[in-house]
Structure 1
Amino acid sequence: MVADPSAASFRKEIEDLRRQNKKYVYTFGNGRAEGNASMKNLLGGKGSNLAEMNLVGIPVPAGFTITTEVCAQYNAIGHEITQELIKAQVNEAVQFVEQVMGKKYGDPNDPLLLSVRSGARVSMPGMMDTVLNLGLNDEIAESVAKKPGQDRFIWDSYRRLVQMYGNVVMGLKPENKEEEDPFEIEIQKLKKEKGVELDTELTAADLREMVSRFKDLVKRRSGQSFPTDPWEQLWGSAFAVFESWNNERAQVYRNINGIPNDWGTAVNVQAMVFGNLNDNCATGVAFTRNAATGEDLFNGEFLVNAQGEDVVAGTRTPQEISKEGSQRWAKLARVSEEERKEKYPSLEELMPDIYQELLEYETKLENHYKDMQDLEFTVQEGKLWMLQTRSGKRTGTAMVKIAMDMLKEGMIDEKTAVMRVDPIRLDDLLHPVFDDKALEDIEVISRGLPASPGAATGQIVFFADEAMELAENGKEVILVRIETSPEDLKGMNVAKGILTARGGMTSHAAVVARGMGKCCISGAGSIHID
């Protein structure tokens, strides 16, 4: 029998790399962390900040970060060798998370579920991929569903996993610009059959049926079955995140923002906490100051019985965190105070203790980082968990005001204040506005939320490539979408303004538009795009 030379070469390459004795995986949890905020180049922005939050006493679900160096290795040597190289360290890290969270990955009785997220050294909101609820399969879902009050939650989590994994790892995306997301088509079909309008109105049995339909869709479109092995799910998702560093939208974002292609991304694996367990749970996004105006006002949005992607995706228009913000929103949306309190209460009113705790953390984090922070959080059964902090994207106007205010407050010195203001963004201060007299004579055809300030006129377009084509021919355009996705980035970049039917002030459209200095109106619910 002749030895396989490729196998011998494979083993030698692994041994050579292992002899370097490098640390590729850094854990965090329970107030301990192997990394810190100074390690952005190695752990990425998200990973280094998750570690830092642990060190300063913020409650963060346990997890670990696979370094940016592994991304470079993956691009150079491929999937198989990379997995062999880091497998032992990943196994140890999962055991650490199991110990901290008191659950076991893949256990049918009390499973630990995991999330996998990207994390470049600078924020690239929505440009790379995320998979939530890893570790579920039919056996585990059936087991958890038998527990009191867990059936709807577990089938909802499972259908989200199949949808995200199918999209991110198995490539089930729209095949052309006119086609909707294939999973969304199935969701709309099922809701129509069941006679409901919202996802939240679907029962546990409906969601179980949705899981079955989603798995059939995966098999039909990809020719492969959805993987039932939790470890296969974890590895598939981690390598898909590395792959997403080189996807088209990430490359476009890097080109627009001058980010080098060779930096790579880290992968953050974290224990899941659940905002979709029941109506005592929630998830949200918050800013320590107003990202559009720079006003020193804590603000943000949340959804009850939801997962974090629901807030930023813009598929549901969320509620405001503070009572003051909620009242401002109601005024813009022409909603009475009575209706607001009954249907759209703020987090401050709905969960006052959680709101006070969130206030404490946002103050602590802004003081610690000495900059305006963009926060993500989840509330599970009365327990607040912080999932992310990062320096928030802001308009040019907000950039100047926040820098000057923090200088006056003694939080930063003059040199830091000057360095905080990007000269290129000063043009934002001169963004167009409507003439007050002209506004007296206009007819309002729709209203939405002022996600990013300014004024814009132009031809309405519905697709990113149409926006680019017209802009190249000298036409001014406004990109109109039900909600934007990262695939719309090229169109958003050339548009004079952006209008969305759904989504709030923290949606993808709002965050990216503010970072670009583009006028954006989100959540204009009266417009219908067929």
Structure 2
Amino acid sequence: VKGGATSHGAVVARGMGKCCVTGCGEIQINDIKREMYIGGYTVKEGDFISISGYTGEIFLGKVKLTEPQFDDNLKEFVSWCKEIKRMGVRMNADTPADAFLGKGFGAEGIGLCRTEHMFFQKDKIWTIRGMIMSDNPEERAEALKKMLEMQREDFYNIFKIVGDEIVIVRLLDPPLHEFLPKEPKDKEKMAEILNLPLIEIERRIRNMKDENPMLGHRGCRLAVTYPEIYNTQARAIIEAAIQCEKEGIKVKPEIMIPLIIGVGELKFIKGNIKAEIDKVFEEQGMKVEYKIGTMMETPRACLLADEIAGEAEFFSFGTNDLTQTTMGLSRDDSVKFMDEYHEHGIFKLEPFASIDVRGVGKLVKLGVELGKKANPELEIGICGEHGGDPKSINFFEETGLDYVSCSPFRVLVAIVAAAQSYIKSKK
């Protein structure tokens, strides 16, 4: 119930194509009776409710629904827009189902495949839990072996759907607190999986807890501490790509390293990844083309973009976190006071819905200018939630980005907005 329309929960729900209403602070939940109370009503477990993610309304019972139509007229209109626009429009997709859906809407490849989201499917979460909670190389090696098999299959299935379009895979960026077991039964299962006493599992959970998860032990910092994690993912990506190539499917994998704050991290991790990929090429007796780039989501990375561009083959601005780190605002918490900011005229726009052009946008512009100057061949895009917002897309066109990427359900809007922005730029 926490957060607003641009909070992490809302973003994840939108990416899954699920309705979501957040900020319902008046709801009371009785875990024992399995009931929810709000506005004098009681909703019991198993009762039907209907929600509108667009209006924020919640209805008791079942409301009649209609299927959205992607008719021939709309398809023709979108095809005109695709002919006019300059920027590419890719999708943020983490599963084969997402990839299939986005491709149907007209997405040109994948601009962000979040590997940590893959583990929310079925029982896969126990594999990543086992990996991040491993306390020694032997435990981690066993967990990584399972992870390699799962990820290779995941990437293979996504590559097959996307075909010869680019797929940018963001290496693991787990907010650890989201993956750690919380319920007693889950802690007991984790103890069983790792063959450890429950008290040891609880000790490890306490030790791994970040005081500030967003700025904690996540992203590339995980690979500096445990290089084998990103090496395993790189191996899975390339082995899946080679399998596709053997089947006559030409793929274009691009590997993205998240949350860097300078070229040192990128050089260290890139060196490890390339060494692992070379091993795969030697083992398989064949090679595939690939790129290694980075996610630009900290102010320091934008300020040092020229140095980073010397090592990176592409940039992708992660404007969700770049907005948080630049403005010192939390996506999930700012909803508590943002209404007053709008009421008093301090902000005209919601900075997590439309990009803050004067502040965050200035860093994006600087990153593009410095990056292109140091590396004219640098491919630059954006994969934050702003990639599906028309106002933001207009700014990205003016800034000269090569592509935007957004959730599958926002691809159509992004295609139209990209065409409109290009027409405006020519006036």
- TM-score exceeds 0.5: no
User: Larger C-alpha radius of gyration, 1 or 2?
Assistant: 1
TM-score norm. by structure 2 comes to 0.28
TM-score norm. by structure 1 comes to 0.24
